[in-house]
């Protein structure tokens, strides 16, 4: 049997917050490393929800790496100082976020066409030898060879690993992944490399592992949101029955619901809105009619009735 690769759970803004990560680890697992959605400076300040999300007391997963996004060293250093204050020993720098509002300000993948700006930003890595740094990136913003122009810089830095999503930033999540673009970076990169992008089945994970045998790990985002059992199915070499997935999903949902029921002060409508995000991706795990009923819920009572139908 092939050696199994470690599995990382990709961060997705609005979905993989601490409550979700903790519940996933308890009900499904199979994940070697979870990553937080990025912490950023907004209007000169940290967002309170970002601080809560990385608070060690709020996280119970076995291994968590906090992520930052910044267009310059000043903002990056403020976030790094927060990570150190919270006791973290490692950090991920986001060079991959495709959201236009951030990218146009040279955050995430929006900085990739500007090698000098990338160099200035990543200079923070050598200023904090007490932290282990990694980078999460895309092939580029406009062109797939933008990442190749950065290889000499990246290879010269003391990075733990690089995660590459083989799309362009301007694609966001549309179109197909560019495996030839990934292969070019894979051959040139001297750091441990993690593949991320469009993995929804154990077979697809194995195909990537077979094609790129030097990979150090696999990162999965939307595929795990759609099927939270995916990493465990890969690790255990079996497909879970729909009933087993539903039972585990029920426990996971209960944990997330209980967390937000205690935390949200804005009333039932805000709780229902928050919980609908839980169901955004796993539509295939429940009947279509039930999924629609959940998303059409306007009150907590209607939401609870729809969720009982799902389970």
pLDDT band, residue 2 (cuts 50/70/90): low
Mean pLDDT of the chain: 96
Are residue 148 and residue 246 in the same domain, yes or no? no
In whole angstroms, give the CA distance from residue 255 to residue 229.
16
Q: Could you list the residue range(s) of the whole structural domain that residue 269 is in?
A: 242-310
Are residue 112 and residue 228 in the same domain, yes or no? yes
Using the predicted structure, report yes or no on whether residue 181 has a pLDDT greater than 60: yes
Mean of pLDDT values over 91-119: 97
Mean of pLDDT values over 171-183: 96
Using the predicted structure, report yes or no on whether residue 124 has a pLDDT greater than 70: yes
How many C-beta atoms lie closer than 10 Å to residue 213's C-beta?
8
In whole angstroms, give the CA distance from residue 15 to residue 286.
19
Mean of pLDDT values over 70-85: 97
Residue with token string 């919980």: 275
pLDDT digits (tens, 9 = 90+) for 216-262: 999 999 999 999 999 999 999 999 999 999 999 999 999 999 999 99
pLDDT at residue 193, rounded to an integer: 98
Is 63 a member of any domain?
yes
Are residue 229 and residue 246 in the same domain, yes or no? no
pLDDT at residue 267, rounded to an integer: 84
For the chain, what percent of residues have pLDDT higher than 70?
99
Mean of pLDDT values over 307-311: 94
Mean of pLDDT values over 293-301: 95
H or E element, residue 25: helix 18-27
Instruction: Please tell me the total count of domains within the chain.
Output: 2
Last residue of a domain, one of 218, 236, 254: 236
| Pair 234, 24: CB distance under 8 Å | no
In whole angstroms, give the CA distance from residue 160 to residue 168.
23
pLDDT at residue 167, rounded to an integer: 97
Mean of pLDDT values over 171-177: 94
Q: Tokens in use for 39?
A: 């912490």
Are residue 204 and residue 84 in the same domain, yes or no? yes
Are residue 203 and residue 306 in the same domain, yes or no? no
Last residue of a domain, one of 210, 236, 262: 236
pLDDT band, residue 128 (cuts 50/70/90): very high
Are residue 163 and residue 248 in the same domain, yes or no? no
Mean of pLDDT values over 209-216: 97
In whole angstroms, give the CA distance from residue 222 to residue 284.
13
In whole angstroms, give the CA distance from residue 10 to residue 65.
10
pLDDT digits (tens, 9 = 90+) for 143-162: 999 999 999 999 999 999 99
Last residue of a domain, one of 207, 236, 265: 236
Are residue 28 and residue 150 in the same domain, yes or no? yes
Is 165 a member of any domain?
yes
pLDDT digits (tens, 9 = 90+) for 273-290: 999 999 999 988 999 999
Is 2 a member of any domain?
no
pLDDT digits (tens, 9 = 90+) for 16-49: 999 999 999 999 999 999 999 999 999 999 999 9
Are residue 227 and residue 273 in the same domain, yes or no? no
pLDDT at residue 1, rounded to an integer: 46
In whole angstroms, give the CA distance from residue 6 to residue 235.
9
């Amino acid at each position: 049997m092939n050696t199994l690769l470690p599995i990382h759970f990709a961060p997705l803004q609005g979905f993989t917050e601490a409550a979700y990560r903790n519940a996933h680890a308890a009900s499904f697992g199979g994940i070697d490393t979870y990553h937080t959605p990025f912490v950023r400076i907004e209007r000169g300040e940290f967002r309170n929800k970002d601080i809560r999300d990385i608070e060690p007391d709020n996280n119970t997963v076995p291994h968590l790496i906090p992520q930052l996004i910044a267009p310059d060293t000043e903002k990056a250093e403020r976030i790094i100082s927060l990570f150190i204050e919270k006791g973290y020993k490692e950090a991920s720098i986001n060079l991959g976020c495709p959201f236009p509002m951030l990218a146009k300000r040279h955050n995430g993948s929006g900085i990739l066409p500007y090698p000098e700006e990338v160099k200035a930003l990543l200079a923070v890595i050598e200023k904090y030898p007490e932290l282990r740094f990694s980078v999460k990136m895309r092939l580029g913003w406009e062109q797939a060879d933008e990442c190749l122009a950065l290889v000499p810089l990246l290879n010269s830095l003391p990075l733990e690993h690089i995660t590459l999503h083989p799309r362009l930033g301007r694609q966001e999540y549309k179109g197909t992944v560019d495996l030839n673009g990934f292969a070019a970076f894979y051959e040139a990169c001297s750091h441990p490399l993690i593949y991320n992008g469009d993995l929804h089945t154990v077979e697809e994970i194995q195909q990537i592992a077979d094609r790129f045998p030097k990979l150090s790990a696999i990162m999965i985002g939307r595929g795990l949101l759609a099927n939270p059992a995916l990493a465990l199915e890969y690790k255990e070499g079996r497909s879970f029955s729909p009933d087993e997935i539903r039972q585990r999903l029920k426990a996971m949902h209960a944990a997330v619901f209980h967390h937000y029921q205690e935390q949200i002060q804005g009333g039932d409508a805000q709780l229902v809105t928050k919980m609908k995000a839980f169901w955004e991706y796993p539509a295939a795990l429940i009947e279509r009619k039930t999924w629609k009923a959940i998303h059409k819920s306007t009150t907590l009572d209607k939401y609870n009735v729809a969720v009982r139908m799902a389970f």
